[in-house]
A and B are shown apart, each in its own frame.
Chain A
Amino acid sequence: MKRKIHTGWLAAVLAVTGTCAMAAPPQQLPQMPHYRFVNYTTANGLPNDHVYCVLVDGNRIWAGTDDGLAEYEHGKWKTYTTKDGLAQQAVLSLALDKRTGDVWAGTMGGLNRISGGRIIDTYTQLNSGLSNNIVYGVSVEEENVWVATAAGASRLNLDTGQWSIYTDSNTPMKEIWVYGVSAAPDKVYLAVWGSGLLEYNQQTKLWDIYEDPDHELEIVLFKNQGLIHDIVSSVSYVDKTVWAATYFGNSRYDGRYWQNFLTKDSGLPSNFTNFVKGVDAHHAWFCTDKGLAYYDGANWAVYTPSLTTGKPEMTVRDAAGKISHISVTTAPANNYMLGIDFQGRDIWVATAGGLSHGIFEPQP
């Protein structure tokens, strides 16, 4: 089911954009996906407008907010709070165990598992082997739950109950603020604030580290030669390609070559990126502080309310750097983007001002 959604999404995007904009006729506007955004806030059922993360689970949408975990299904919202067993009211991260349907929620006070519509487990740094209660990221791979925390990464083996902790004492990371994790059967990547990107080889059990070649400089001396910056805020590993978001630009790594993205030479609306999610090896979404950006391998599209007027905006930048403004009537709830997930052709976006449902609109 989930695989179908994934490939369906890819097919939809490819259908809209052509194989890529490079193949588009010269001077013709690249066909980027258009959406009609429906926004959810406290005015229509969301417990809090500050939405840290969003997760699509079939027809069910989960939103991690500043005031509980919200579940949207059949047009209705249900909120899980600390009274229901939520470890802490602020939900920072979400992950779906595609095998079991269980949802994992990382909060400011621990990690929860939701199964069959109920919070069944709460893991904290006091009652379990979780390294820290502030859970910035979570990712499920087979029987392992990987957790990014403010004090290193943790891994819970669901079959044995064993917790493992990964910090500066047993990995190459120099800082232990792990902001994101993306786990797959072959590799696991950690986004480490101030310590680059860590790679765990599931077969060899060895760690590797990818850092900014010019390290902590906010200028880029060595473009496309490595990670754009060591302050990595998010990572997404898909189709053996890593997409890494930092506060100073973004990167793509296919296992051999690096590609960097900066506002000055890409369609990114801002280098300050909170979250990245790859669709596949060539397509990805970037959640920045100045809008939501989509990259199709050559062209860019940005969706946001105007930073000055608040009016809906959509901007397209083609491979040649030409920027076009598309007339739209809707935009995400806020320009400060925090998370995204896909539902078929649609997108769901977590913002600092509400949750946005981007309903795909085919273009003639």
Chain B
Amino acid sequence: MSLRSLHGRRIDSVWIATLSVLVAGLCGMRLWRPGTVGAATNSGSSQILNYASPEEMLFTRDGSRLYVLCQSGEVRVFNGATYASIATIPVGHQPRGFSLSPDESRLFVVNSWDDTLSVIDTHALKVTATWHVGMEPSSVVDDSADKYLYVANRISNDVAVLNAATGAEVKRLAAGRGASYITLAPNGKRLYVTHVYPNPTPWRTPPESEVTVIDARTAEVVGHIPLPSAAGVFHVAFTSDSRLGVVAEMHPKNLLPVTQVESGWVFENTLTLFGPAVGNKTVEVPLDDLENFAVRPFGVAITPDGSRLYVSCGGSEAVVAIDLPRLLRYVRAHRGPIVYDLAAGAHYVVKRIPAGHDAHGVAVSPDGRRLLVANRLDDTISVIDTRSNNVVSTIGLAGSKQMWSLQFGLQMFAGMTNAAPGQRRCKSCHIDEHHRNAKRMKLSTIKQIQALRRGEQAFYSGHYAFHGAMGCVNCHIDSTFDAMQWDFEPDGLARNIVDNMLLEGIRDAAPYDWSGVNPNLPTQGGPRTEKFIWRSQNYDVRTLADVCAYINSLPERPNRWRLPGGNLTPAQERGKAIFERTVDDFGKPIPLTNRCNYCHSGPLGTDHKKFDVGTKGPGDDSGLFVTPLLTNIALTAPYLHNGRAASLEEIWTIYNPQDRHGRTNDLAKDELNDLIEYLKTR
């Protein structure tokens, strides 16, 4: 008996698809694609609620296999030609980077929140070892000799050099702040490391970034390629002859008021070219054009023949296709800076290819005919024909669309939608299934998760800003912060400069903004953002709610300075005592309001109130600022409302001369060090 005859209603293909998804969910089956929805990472009902969130991809040299790294904590293995699923391999928490050994027998995955590296046997397709690495490992590369593994640690700003056979750490090399992405040049001689947060510079000066160059033979830093004015630097790609390197980066202009977005003067999205092909100098070229920004360039790939350069732009949900020979001719023909010429792209950009939400990692097939783009927030991979530059197919990894179908189908099944009066509802015949499903799947949970995904998509999208110029994530890189200071209000140049804050754990941190002007997150993220930043359009009610839900859902990443079990080191214990002390080093009582833990109280380290701690600068209208959270404060230099303090130490060694920011001038240097060691554990 067909469904149509049973219910006496036309059932179109959408409904059939939806119902099949629903039934599969009810039955614990995975009809739409086995093993694609977080299958191996979790158990129980949460299995089918995970998003895959594909981030990075790798082809084997012969193109027979495609590895997809998913933020859900797994590596998906596909046939490289047909994309048929071969396996799903669970790894650690929040994996961020992976690479193959030179003989392709091992796949290395770094798990950014576990501080581990998973070693996968590519024959057995399972994890055979898990090695401890540094703080927030974000990429891993095996050198061509298979002697060393290089791991970029985002929090400790360095590159760990590991014995490739044993995982033992040999040493760490200093890299840029927020070291994140490593690329080995095709000739195997050098590694190039980028970083997502700018290196420290004097206050109110342009940001600076770099590509740190490591000699693969000696495993030593041998140079720095300067990236002036860049902040938020992501992948590097090389031509097959290693003569040209291309860096994807953002070029913020944070010294100007953000209101200048109307003039295209907040973020520029650029590439930096380096290497012999451009005369061993660096050339920064724009990806944007006047009314069409290429927001947040992330992944870079060059076809083996060097004819095409592709750049994924997550905020624009697009891939920019560049004619590389034309770009090089243009660069060689022009003297002087090109980066500020927003008409330049017309000379080398051949197409903007639509992709999915937060178009992320890219991979070119070994034959150069296909470009794959991981659409992280759509759970899909776009397959682009490099001859036509058209998307020719989309690989679904199960995610938001399937989740939507699941919810929609469940609603229909339960009779909540689409049931005409007098028509029978599914659940009337399948009561047991409905009850079982209700227990297993929790409709409210599905709704919530969908809202979070929608909110995350909006958060990562540049769609809402004037000319699509930027998204929330431009400043809150990977939903964190950007280590920069911004001029938001239309109150004149360099007035009321504010330091960007970490978003983790801010759910209960109202009021928002350093001034405390926003009583809740919808005000901060809605009217305020729309007025001072987007200057283009409002969020609709649901989108604003989703964005806020997403921000509120952001968990605190693990604190690397806390000992297991919550114990404190002796220095941290001493610092805690200073944080909580009631008398100073001279035995004098410290007034209640001048103790650290008076304002920085509670689990978040804030009392949510405004105080004047003597940090008002010449550009500030007021000296009253809301007590900031202490959550993961070790990561978020610089400090104070305007970012004047380059380090935690400077808060008290320089900017607390009158003891208004707590009684600290009685402290000896070692006591201040102890206090800071304790603060790092918050």
**Contact check: which of A115, A132, A162, A167 meets B221 at CB < 8 Å?**
A115
**Contact check: which of A116, A117, A120, A165 meets B673 at CB < 8 Å?**
A165
Cα A131 to Cα B674 in complex, Å, equals: 13
Total number of B residues with any Cβ neighbor in A under 8 Å: 33
Say yes or no for B17: interface residue by CB 8 A criterion. Answer: no
**Contact check: which of B156, B220, B561 meets A100 at CB < 8 Å?**
B220
**Contact check: which of B156, B220, B561 meets A101 at CB < 8 Å?**
B220
Cα A143 to Cα B170 in complex, Å, equals: 11
* Across-interface contacts of A167 in B (CB, < 8 A): 670
**Contact check: which of B561, B646, B668 meets A127 at CB < 8 Å?**
B646
Query: Is B172 a contact partner of A100 (Cβ separation < 8 A)?
Result: yes
B-contact bits for A139-157, CB 8 A (1 contact / 0 none)? 0000100000001000000
* Across-interface contacts of B649 in A (CB, < 8 A): 126-129
Query: Is A113 a contact partner of B174 (Cβ separation < 8 A)?
Result: yes
On whether A158 and B172 interact (CB within 8 A), knowing A126-B653, A127-B650, A128-B649, the answer reads: yes
Say yes or no for B506: interface residue by CB 8 A criterion. Answer: no
**Contact check: which of B173, B199, B561, B571 meets A164 at CB < 8 Å?**
B571
Cα A113 to Cα B213 in complex, Å, equals: 16
Cα A338 to Cα B76 in complex, Å, equals: 62
Cα A211 to Cα B575 in complex, Å, equals: 33
Query: Is B156 a contact partner of A159 (Cβ separation < 8 A)?
Result: yes
Say yes or no for A82: interface residue by CB 8 A criterion. Answer: no
Query: Is A129 a contact partner of B673 (Cβ separation < 8 A)?
Result: yes
Interface of B is mostly: mixed
Say yes or no for A99: interface residue by CB 8 A criterion. Answer: yes
On whether A116 and B172 interact (CB within 8 A), knowing A159-B134, A167-B670, the answer reads: no
* Residue on A nearest B560 in the bound complex, by CB: A160
Query: Is A101 a contact partner of B218 (Cβ separation < 8 A)?
Result: yes
On whether A121 and B670 interact (CB within 8 A), knowing A115-B221, A116-B221, A127-B646, the answer reads: no
Query: Is A126 a contact partner of B221 (Cβ separation < 8 A)?
Result: no
Query: Is A116 a contact partner of B669 (Cβ separation < 8 A)?
Result: no
Cα A118 to Cα B634 in complex, Å, equals: 25
Say yes or no for A318: interface residue by CB 8 A criterion. Answer: no
Smallest beta-carbon distance A352→chain B, Å: 32
On whether A125 and B174 interact (CB within 8 A), knowing A101-B220, A117-B224, the answer reads: no
A-contact bits for B184-227, CB 8 A (1 contact / 0 none)? 00000000000000010000000000001100001011111000
Query: Is B224 a contact partner of A100 (Cβ separation < 8 A)?
Result: no
* Across-interface contacts of A162 in B (CB, < 8 A): 571, 677
Say yes or no for A204: interface residue by CB 8 A criterion. Answer: no
Report B628-682 residues with CB < 8 Å from chain A CB: 634, 646-647, 649-650, 653-654, 668-670, 672-673, 676-677
Say yes or no for B171: interface residue by CB 8 A criterion. Answer: yes
* Residue on A nearest B213 in the bound complex, by CB: A116
On whether A116 and B223 interact (CB within 8 A), knowing A99-B170, A100-B172, A126-B654, the answer reads: yes
Cα A117 to Cα B170 in complex, Å, equals: 22
Say yes or no for A163: interface residue by CB 8 A criterion. Answer: yes
Cα A129 to Cα B673 in complex, Å, equals: 6
Say yes or no for A170: interface residue by CB 8 A criterion. Answer: yes
Query: Is B673 a contact partner of A164 (Cβ separation < 8 A)?
Result: yes
Cα A143 to Cα B224 in complex, Å, equals: 22
Smallest beta-carbon distance B561→chain A, Å: 7
Smallest beta-carbon distance A120→chain B, Å: 6
* Residue on A nearest B199 in the bound complex, by CB: A120
Cα A159 to Cα B160 in complex, Å, equals: 10
Best-buried of A113, A125, A160 by chain B (most CB within 10 Å): A160
* Across-interface contacts of A164 in B (CB, < 8 A): 571, 670, 673
Query: Is B669 a contact partner of A100 (Cβ separation < 8 A)?
Result: no
Cα A100 to Cα B172 in complex, Å, equals: 7
Smallest beta-carbon distance B661→chain A, Å: 15
Cα A294 to Cα B487 in complex, Å, equals: 63
* Across-interface contacts of A71 in B (CB, < 8 A): none
Smallest beta-carbon distance B576→chain A, Å: 15
**Contact check: which of A121, A131, A159, A160 meets B669 at CB < 8 Å?**
A131
Could you say which interface size class chain A belongs to? Answer: 20 to 34
Cα A216 to Cα B209 in complex, Å, equals: 53
* Across-interface contacts of A129 in B (CB, < 8 A): 649, 669, 672-673, 676
* Across-interface contacts of B634 in A (CB, < 8 A): 161
Query: Is B654 a contact partner of A160 (Cβ separation < 8 A)?
Result: no
**Contact check: which of B170, B561, B672 meets A160 at CB < 8 Å?**
B561
Report B515-532 residues with CB < 8 Å from chain A CB: none
Say yes or no for A212: interface residue by CB 8 A criterion. Answer: no
**Contact check: which of A116, A163, A165 meets B222 at CB < 8 Å?**
A116
* Across-interface contacts of A121 in B (CB, < 8 A): 174
Report B148-204 residues with CB < 8 Å from chain A CB: 156, 158, 170-174, 199
* Residue on A nearest B654 in the bound complex, by CB: A126
* Across-interface contacts of B677 in A (CB, < 8 A): 162
Say yes or no for A363: interface residue by CB 8 A criterion. Answer: no
Cα A161 to Cα B676 in complex, Å, equals: 11
Say yes or no for A102: interface residue by CB 8 A criterion. Answer: yes
Query: Is A125 a contact partner of B669 (Cβ separation < 8 A)?
Result: yes
**Contact check: which of A113, A116, A127 meets B647 at CB < 8 Å?**
A127
Cα A160 to Cα B172 in complex, Å, equals: 12
Smallest beta-carbon distance B285→chain A, Å: 24
Cα A77 to Cα B59 in complex, Å, equals: 47
Smallest beta-carbon distance B243→chain A, Å: 21
**Contact check: which of B174, B213, B647, B670 meets A102 at CB < 8 Å?**
B174
Smallest beta-carbon distance B655→chain A, Å: 10
Cα A128 to Cα B652 in complex, Å, equals: 11
On whether A117 and B172 interact (CB within 8 A), knowing A127-B647, A164-B673, A169-B668, the answer reads: no
Smallest beta-carbon distance A244→chain B, Å: 26
A-contact bits for B215-244, CB 8 A (1 contact / 0 none)? 000101111100000000000000000000
Query: Is B212 a contact partner of A116 (Cβ separation < 8 A)?
Result: yes
Report A70-117 residues with CB < 8 Å from chain B CB: 99-102, 113, 115-117
Query: Is B221 a contact partner of A102 (Cβ separation < 8 A)?
Result: yes
* Across-interface contacts of B212 in A (CB, < 8 A): 116
* Across-interface contacts of A118 in B (CB, < 8 A): 224
Smallest beta-carbon distance A60→chain B, Å: 12
* Across-interface contacts of B668 in A (CB, < 8 A): 169
* Across-interface contacts of A160 in B (CB, < 8 A): 561
Query: Is A100 a contact partner of B134 (Cβ separation < 8 A)?
Result: no
* Residue on B nearest A116 in the bound complex, by CB: B221
Cα A151 to Cα B221 in complex, Å, equals: 32
Smallest beta-carbon distance A198→chain B, Å: 16
Query: Is B669 a contact partner of A165 (Cβ separation < 8 A)?
Result: yes
Smallest beta-carbon distance B673→chain A, Å: 4
* Across-interface contacts of A102 in B (CB, < 8 A): 174, 221
Query: Is B673 a contact partner of A125 (Cβ separation < 8 A)?
Result: no
Best-buried of A127, A132, A158 by chain B (most CB within 10 Å): A127
Smallest beta-carbon distance A137→chain B, Å: 18
Cα A151 to Cα B669 in complex, Å, equals: 10
* Across-interface contacts of B158 in A (CB, < 8 A): 158
**Contact check: which of B172, B199, B654, B673 meets A163 at CB < 8 Å?**
B673
* Across-interface contacts of B224 in A (CB, < 8 A): 116-118, 120
On whether A159 and B221 interact (CB within 8 A), knowing A126-B654, A128-B647, the answer reads: no
Query: Is B647 a contact partner of A159 (Cβ separation < 8 A)?
Result: no
Best-buried of B571, B634, B669 by chain A (most CB within 10 Å): B669
Can you offer 23 A-B residue contacts whose CB atoms are under 8 A?
A99-B170, A100-B171, A100-B172, A100-B173, A101-B220, A101-B221, A102-B221, A115-B174, A115-B221, A116-B220, A116-B222, A117-B222, A120-B174, A126-B653, A127-B649, A127-B653, A129-B649, A129-B676, A131-B670, A143-B172, A161-B156, A167-B670, A170-B670
Binding site for A on B (CB under 8 A): 134, 156, 158, 170-174, 199, 212-213, 218, 220-224, 561, 571, 634, 646-647, 649-650, 653-654, 668-670, 672-673, 676-677
> Other than the known A117-B223, A125-B669, what 13 A-B pairs have Cβ atoms closer than 8 Å?
A102-B221, A115-B173, A117-B224, A127-B647, A128-B649, A129-B669, A129-B673, A131-B669, A143-B172, A161-B156, A161-B634, A164-B673, A167-B670
- Closest A-B pairs by Cβ, 5 of them: A116-B221, A101-B220, A99-B171, A165-B670, A129-B673
